[in-house]
Structure 1
Amino acid sequence: MISTESDARSYVADLAGDAAIARLDILIEELARENELQNLVAKATLGTVWQRHVADSAQLLQFCEPSSPWLDLGSGAGFPGLVIAAMRPEISVILIESRKRRVDWLERAVASMELTNCQVEGRRLESVESVSAGVISARAFAPLDRLLALSARFSTKDTCWVLPKGRSAAQEVRALPKNRRNMFHVEQSRTDPEAGIVVGRGQWSAKA
């Protein structure tokens, strides 16, 4: 379990290296500045940003082979999408966010971090053009059943889903239709002993 800022930073560095750490340092600086203007993350978490936000996002790479495009739904403050883009410059990452101030923030962060592999879709998910996603992630976006229904058209038989769900992970998987819930399982978060990550692979049909 990652329990300190030092452990979190080392964990991320082992997964990605110095260039990614430099980009993430920029993200953290920009996040602290922007958080004074809009509530991107809880202020109390800024003191443990590597553990609570960066490593919490980075761990998703160990549950899914990164492939393009990586769709991050409801990106908000940029977690996990900006972290994934910073750590894996070889894949394309699409941040989907509808709130104007959050969209502006994401675009500034992408520019500051010089993320040429990352684009921001500033619109509701329902209005985003369909693509075949390699990976779909979402952190605090919607209940699992609704999330899957909204994003089904982006999934294929090869799509990997990595969905941090906190304490409700197992409960939300159990609430899915019995004939399809075995598509997903829950992994223990490395940054929070009480949190789970819903992981799956395959195409979800909103009509099934």
Structure 2
Amino acid sequence: MTNEMSDGIPSDVSREALADSPEVQEYFGDSFSLVSRFAEMLHDQGELRGLIGPREVSRIWERHILNSAAVVQYLPTGGTIADIGSGAGLPGIVIAAMLPEAQVLLIEPMERRCTWLNEVVDELELTNVEVKRGRAEEYHGAFQCEAVTSRAVAALEKLARMSLPLVERGGEMVVLKGKNVQQEIEPARKVLRKYKTEEPQILEALSVEGVEPTTVLRVRRTPA
């Protein structure tokens, strides 16, 4: 095994070469071509359109694509999944590419980001995606999903208020979080009780060897 840099990427593998590695291609399988095209679009337009910062352009695969993909193992393979605050399409576009049998709703309040999301959906010909412009709260009572996900949207207390009304009974909120998510659970207890959830689970989501694991928080609503 080669020596690793501090962020977990093998030192003898360039960031640009990560997408060409057999491990990454095997990990994505049939969805690799779609995910790779999405990564190219982010690389070419992401900074220009204010979707990612300048420092992120060179690390799109490990910081964004693989990070987003890691949550898929904890999501249902079918039904409806909502990604709130979808932004650049992370993780929603990656989820839609990897789970073609699921219907994926991308909920995003900013018009320019919705324009981007629709462009990506058209370019990748993702027939299982619908872009919904607005805040998550605007859709409370309009529909419910088997799962709701998000990435870097808000602290758990606020995120639960936004997400759980969109989760059907027996469904789950499955969100990408930082390593200190345990500290967010106690302040969110009141909201979690209101929506009758089970005890939150903090999960380690692995993608490919050498890439830092993603921290996932899963909260299940008790069945009706």
Match of 2:153 among 141, 164, 185: 141
* Cα distance in 2 for residues equivalent to 1:174 and 1:48: 33
Give the TM-score normalised by structure 1: 0.85
Report if the CA contact (8 A) 1:187-1:199 is conserved: yes
Q: Which structure would you say has the larger Rg?
A: 2
Alignment length, in residue pairs?
202
Instruction: Identify the residue that residue 46 of structure 1 maps to in structure 2.
Output: 57
CA contact (8 A) 1:140 1:164 kept: yes
Q: Deviations over 1:34-58 (max 9, x none)?
A: 2242221122222221111111111
Contact 2:202–2:216 (Cα < 8 Å) also in 1 = yes
1:119–1:2 distance in 2 versus 1, CA, 3 Å = farther
Structure 1: distance between partners of 2:222 and 2:170: 7
More strand by share: 2
What does residue 200 of structure 2 align with? 184
> What's the secondary structure of 1:188's corresponding residue?
strand
Which shows bigger deviation, 75-84 or 39-48? 39-48
**SS of residue matched to 2:106:** strand
Structure 1 pair 36/7, CA: closer, same or farther in 2 (3 Å)? closer
Answer yes or no: is the 8 Å Cα contact 1:8–1:55 preserved in 2.
Answer: no
In the aligned structure 1, how far is the partner of 2:146 from the partner of 2:135? 20
Equivalent residue letter for 1:153: P
Shift of 1:3: 3.0
In structure 2, runs of 5+ residues without a counterpart are: 1-6
* Code of the aligned partner of 1:174: E
**What is the aligned-residue identity percentage?**
30
Measured after TM superposition, the shift of residue 17 of structure 1 is: 1.3
- Decide whether the 8 Å contact of 1:8 with 1:50 is kept in 2: no
**Take 2:20 and 2:189, find their aligned partners in 1: how far apart are those partners?**
36
Secondary structure of the residue aligned to 1:192 is coil
Q: 1:199 corresponds to which residue? A: 218
Aligned-partner Cα distance in 2 for 1:201–1:8: 36
Query: Can you give the 5+ residue segments of structure 1 that lack an aligned partner in the other structure?
Result: none
Scaled by the length of structure 2, the TM-score of the pair is 0.79
